Amino acid sequence: MVYRHVIDSTVHVFDDLRDLLAKATPPRSGDQLAGIAAESAEQMIAARMALADLPLVQFLQEQVIPYEDDEVTRLIVDTHDAAAFSPVASLTVGGFRDFLLSDAATPDALARLSSGIAPEMAAAVSKLMRNQDLILAAKKCQVRTAFRDTIGLPGRMSVRLQPNHPFDDAKGITASILDGLLLGSGDACIGINPASDDPAVIGGLLRLLDEIIARGAIPTQACVLTHVTTTLQLIGQGYPVDLVFQSIAGTEAANKSFGINLGILREALDAGRALKRGSVGDNLMYFETGQGSALSAGAHHGVDQQTCEARAYAVARAFQPLLVNSVVGFIGPEYLYDGKQIIRAGLEDHFCGKLLGLPLGVDICYTNHAEADQDDMDVLLTLLATAGVAFIMGVPGADDVMLNYQSTSFHDALYVRDLLGLRRAPEFEDWLARTGLVDAAHRLAAGPGALPDFAAGLIA
């Protein structure tokens, strides 16, 4: 279907829904690289005005990637919850924005609505929203998940403790874990990006994490972020696997470039649940996404990178994950050029993910060749924490020495907790209190004190 909008007698024509969404997107380098971005500010505004008048039901009738060509499209269409969608079925995209910002959009109402929202609807409405709109609407979306502790409760923010090491050295990793735990981080998970893809190395890291968690009786979950097929192999060999990780994207072709499909993810979910290692829940999948992944694989089908990202959330939603993490600035300036684009994309990803019912966290990050710095990350961290982000990264010194990018530190988490009064996952918070690491007000206990027994054991 062709879409048109007139501004000052100039008729702006958009070839189809895919083109309309792309032209309505705020400027970003990835869409410009793909040759699908708006050619002028006027064209972008015309696209947004046409999009605002588009009925939401159009997204159920017109697909940005054909049904017969893409299993992600088939997943979106076949699992759409018409009953959940019915309260907003009569709205346009602009009307949907008005609803999301109204008092009628309560946390309970948005939770009931989430399974009825197609990812392209979420992407579309986000393109009409200012940053403050994205923050306010996301704040209302509350998504709870659980494994050994509970993620996403109101007034709480978790941290993934990321103890990466360039040589997968056990002592170096253990030192980083101890650093993070003593600074109150690790309730989202303790998650290692391994430098090696050798299953023997991965298995050793799994045993290391399992031993640390067991020794300290820490109510958190471990994850080694290796390919899902490697994790399946190690589950079959009896290794202690808590969370099953995989990078995902919003098109079948992009997922194929990652070496996965929906069937493999279903097999991994079933294998992980069969281990029954959770204590307060069975959400055990951990997915990472990022704007530009489909384009970088040549698998975007002409769809703008933010809409592709929202489609990745539909993939994640099908597997009831514990954690979903947008690594928003990690892919590089070819896709998000500077701090302004990274900040905008981070707020979009967080809003769209939570609207679709996901426990969305953000790796607030940038690569060293992007036009961004840590001040930009401070801004995004503060905005996302205000918007109710489920979790962030905790990297020693904010500088990942294995992946060579800049993220957020354990101290950044302390800053935003202090600023906004955000608490940790309740089970993890109770553990910190029992070990004497926090005081009655849930702040880090003052003074050196005595190291907890588990920490002294790790040092030894």
Give the span between the Cα atoms of 293 and 158, in whole angstroms: 25
**Residue ranges of the chain with per-residue pLDDT less than 70:** 446-451, 459-460
DSSP letters, 405-424, are EE---HHHHHHHHHHHT-B-
CB atoms within 10 A of CB 266: 12
Query: Residues 222-238: pLDDT tens digits?
Result: 999 999 999 999 999 99
Paired strand residues for 312 = none
For residues 329 and 366, the answer to whether their CB atoms sit within 8 Å is yes
3-class SS at 275? coil
- Cβ-Cβ contacts under 8 Å for 211 (sequence gap 6 or more): none
Give the span between the Cα atoms of 293 and 434, in whole angstroms: 43
- Cβ-Cβ contacts under 8 Å for 179 (sequence gap 6 or more): 396, 410
For residues 241 and 206, the answer to whether their CB atoms sit within 8 Å is yes
Q: What is the DSSP letter of 104?
A: T
For residues 20 and 14, the answer to whether their CB atoms sit within 8 Å is yes
Give the span between the Cα atoms of 240 and 206, in whole angstroms: 6
How high is the pLDDT of residue 453? 73
Give the span between the Cα atoms of 176 and 171, in whole angstroms: 9
Element (H, E) at 212: helix 199-216
- Cα Dmax for the chain: 76
How high is the pLDDT of residue 460? 63
Instruction: Using the structure block, give the residue that is written with the tokens 């967080």.
Output: 350
Angle (CA) 87 92 95, round 5°:
75
Token pair listed for 304: 């703008």
For residues 37 and 25, the answer to whether their CB atoms sit within 8 Å is yes
Spatial CA neighbour of 119 closest among 293, 307, 303, 254 = 307
- Please state the pTM of the whole predicted model: 0.97
Q: Across 294-355, where does the E strand assignment appear?
A: 323-326
For residues 381 and 389, the answer to whether their CB atoms sit within 8 Å is no
Give the span between the Cα atoms of 242 and 236, in whole angstroms: 14
For residues 288 and 258, the answer to whether their CB atoms sit within 8 Å is no
How high is the pLDDT of residue 445? 83
